[in-house]
Amino acid sequence: MAISKTTILQKCEVYPAGDPEAADTLNQAWPFVVVVYEDHIDDADDDDLPIVATRVKSLYKFTITVDEDGVEASAATVISGEDTLVQSICADVWA
């Protein structure tokens, strides 16, 4: 039994900045990207498969984290795990 997963990029949409006048260090100053992936899970030995699931992700220029003391920190969003087309689009709109 060998389960396989295949991910297909279905759609990638760019939305304008919420506030183009905001400081460059805020997500509101930058366009954001919505990505739709379709995951196919299959096993040739399983009659109940394949299963197809849709995933939707919103990507922002910065990832905001909050520590246990409630202090916010901001870092560039890591997009290395995204489809190469998504990486190219993010690089262009966040340049």
Q: How far is CA 39 from CA 51, 89, 90, in A?
A: 8, 21, 21
Torsion-angle region of residue 54: left (phi > 0), alpha (psi -120 to 50) or beta? beta
Q: What are the pLDDT digits (tens) for 33-83? A: 999 999 999 998 888 899 999 999 999 999 999 999 999 999 999 999 999
**Domain count of the fold of the chain:** 1
The parent domain of residue 19 ranges over: 4-93
Note the pLDDT of residue 92.
Answer: 97
Considering the entire predicted model, what is its pTM? 0.86
Note the pLDDT of residue 2.
Answer: 86
* pLDDT above 80: residue 1: no
The CA distance from 55 to 9, in Å, is 10
